[in-house]
Amino acid sequence: MKKRRRSSLKRWDAPIAGYLFISPWLIGFIGLTAYPLLLSLYYSFTNYTLLRPIERVGTKNYVNIFTSDPKFEESLRATFQYVIASVPLKLIAALLIAMLLNKAVRGIGIYRTAIYFPSLIGGSIAVSMLWRNIFGVEGIFNKIIAIFGFEGKGWITSPDTAMSTLVLLAVWQFGSAMVIFLAGLKQIPSDLYEASSVDGANQFVQFFRITLPMLSPIIYFNLIMGVINAFQMFTSAFVITNGGPMNSTYVYALYLYERAFSRYQLGYSSALAWIMLVIIVIASLIIAGTSRYWVFYETETEGRKRRR
């Protein structure tokens, strides 16, 4: 009996030690992520306004959102415009800059640090205020184009260009994706380029036949992360344009914020949040479903060779 007890205790020693080591993360996950997530799901089925007791209303919030809320559709349209425009441009910019920085040039580390620096400050309020001043009527951008004879305007006050300024800000903050692309470029064997050069392939062919296929898993990762982050964009739209002009930049997160903290409709805003979660999950699943047609994994080719 004693031997059995000792052996059973030994079996549990390792799991208990593991749970003890990850207990800070578990406590944080349960208290700061899982519990608020479930609580917001409960609130989405209530008429919770902070000003009166919680009243259960079932699916009324969701029905109202899809049937009698024009701002929901308007904010969703603006959000999709932002995602469709900003994510591909940001990935293209990150990849091109990563390829430029993947050179054996003297002082290349300084250039990499300088280019990555904007991503350290991220989408902060200070950067958004700076961007608002740059593209204002009296901003430096209008002064620069005036030198070349072009007439400036209020880029953030025009419905035709306001969204473009937000997209440009997102593209400018390409540093994180660029670093990941740069790491992927370092992993591509130089023998592939040398062999293709011997066969007569130019740099254009090498880019589409070697670089892109070898980077496809990293493109897939950056695409998923970029879509998730773009759907949640809030700070730049709130500080730079505040949803204007004419609601052209009235993105979904801004509408959710207004419902929650201006109208104090926390139940309604919780329903909006869960709808956005479902949209993000669906978008991620679509990208994941199509990845088998364009994402290349080296382990898969090895498995196919072994099967043959």
Which of 212, 182, 185, 207 lies closest to 196 in space, CA to CA? 207
Residues in the chain: 308
Spatial contact of 163 and 249, defined as CB atoms under 8 Å apart = yes
Per-residue confidence at 307, pLDDT binned at 50, 70, 90?
Answer: very low
Q: What is the pLDDT of residues 151-194, one digit of tens each?
A: 888 899 888 899 999 999 999 888 889 999 999 998 888 888 88
pTM for the whole thing? 0.87
Residues in Cβ contact with 57 at an 8 Å cutoff, skipping those fewer than 6 apart? 45, 46, 47, 267
Query: Average pLDDT in the 268-294 region?
Result: 95
Residues in Cβ contact with 224 at an 8 Å cutoff, skipping those fewer than 6 apart? 284, 287, 288
Query: Average pLDDT in the 119-143 region?
Result: 82
In this structure, the number of other CB atoms found within 10 A of the CB of residue 152 comes to 16
Check residue 285 and give left, alpha or beta (phi > 0: left; psi -120 to 50: alpha): alpha
Query: Can you state the angle between helices 162-172 and 70-101, rounded to 10 degrees?
Result: 40
Instruction: Look at residue 303 and tell me whether its pLDDT is greater than 50.
Output: no
pLDDT at 11: 55
Instruction: Look at residue 9 and tell me whether its pLDDT is greater than 60.
Output: no
CA distance 29 to 37: 10
pLDDT at 166: 93
CA distance 186 to 204: 19
pLDDT at 105: 73
Angle value at C-alpha 121, between 172 and 211, nearest 5 degrees? 45
How far is residue 131 from each of residues 124, 195, 261, 297, measured CA to CA in Å? 11, 46, 25, 40
pLDDT at 21: 84
**To which residue do tokens 């309020």 refer?**
125
Q: What residue ranges in the chain does DSSP mark as E strands?
A: none
Per-residue confidence at 196, pLDDT binned at 50, 70, 90?
Answer: confident
Torsion sign across C-alpha atoms 60, 63, 69, 75 = positive
Mean pLDDT, all residues of the chain: 86
| DSSP symbols for 51-96 | SS---B-TTHHHHHHHHS-HHHHHHHHHHHHHHHHHHHHHHHHHHH
Q: Say which residue, 106 or 245, is predicted with more confidence.
A: 245
